Amino acid sequence: MKKGIVMAINADEKKYPKKKNDIQGDAFMAITQFNFKLAIFLVILISLCFNLNPSHAKDLLFPASHFPPYIITENKDHESGIDIDILKEMAKRLDLNLKIINCPWKRCLYLIKHGKGDILSTVYKMPEREVFMTFIEPPYMKDTVISFYFQKGREHTVKKFDDLQGLTIGVLNEYKYDSKFDNDLKIKKHSVFQEIILLKMLKAGRLDAFIGDDVNFDYLIYTNGFKGFFKKAPYNITTKYGSYFAVSKKSVFAEHVPLFSKTLKQMKKEGITDKIINSYLGRE
């Protein structure tokens, strides 16, 4: 802009000063713009606050595969089990609604991997799973004991791993127990699709033994009338994986794992998790 034009404009401003109404109008516009910006700021702030509180998501989606006593989904009107009871208590403390999605194990993993489920249970902490889920510390069960069950009186057949060679051991289809056991071709393995079949086959003498998570099978033996028929061998496999809850990295709760962890730690401190576990195993 040329100097002369600037001087002319300044002269006009002196000659025709702003009226009182104009000044008030400018002030009103400034206040309005400030209030608008403030409103936007408050909306963003409130939105962030809501996002920091997982309770506003309301439903906690839990893909669950029937695996007693951890997950018992036979009765659709009253789903229960160690994992379900612990998660219900955790959800209650976080003001969430636990919503159970019944599915086979492979489907459960798929839902978690793709963010169509929020939380998974009885999961071993492995590098390949940490890619798509975050594990909640601490594990609610520290070690997993895998036992070999024999007919009563024959349990001393196996005192060390090599004693398993030449025996027919019942296993669950597609289940991973321990790499050494899984890959030993000298151990004959008979695969079935349901745990209860292993109990019936061993009682009938059609297997030398079966292998399984002792929490899972202790419960089945206790609740299905097999108490007193079987004994565990002195030799067992104790894994250091631990049993975890894990949150999908694509879940709306992915950023709130520390809050889940804090809640679980408090429940363990209060003895709630042990009380739930023992209630399903007939322990005091």
Work out the percent of the chain whose per-residue pLDDT is above 70.
79
The CB density around residue 117, as the number of other CB atoms within 10 Å, is 26
pLDDT range class, residue 202, cuts 50, 70, 90: very high
In this predicted structure, the answer to whether residue 116 has a pLDDT above a threshold of 80 is yes
The predicted-structure confidence for 135-173, as pLDDT tens digits, reads as follows 999 998 887 889 999 999 999 989 999 999 999 999 988
Do 169 and 157 form a contact (C-beta atoms < 8 A)? no
Phi, psi of 99 (to 5 degrees): -115, 115
Report whether CATH 2.60.40.790 matches the domain 144-239: no
The predicted-structure confidence for 189-199, as pLDDT tens digits, reads as follows 999 988 899 99
Q: Are both 55-142+243-280 and 144-239 of the same fold?
A: yes
CATH of 55-142+243-280, one of 1.10.3720.10, 3.40.190.10, 3.40.50.300, 1.10.275.30: 3.40.190.10
The predicted model scores a pTM of 0.65
Please report, for the chain, the start and end positions of each structural domain, with discontinuous segments joined by +.
55-142+243-280, 144-239
Do 27 and 63 form a contact (C-beta atoms < 8 A)? no
Lowest mean pLDDT, pick from 19-28, 75-84, 129-138, 166-175: 19-28
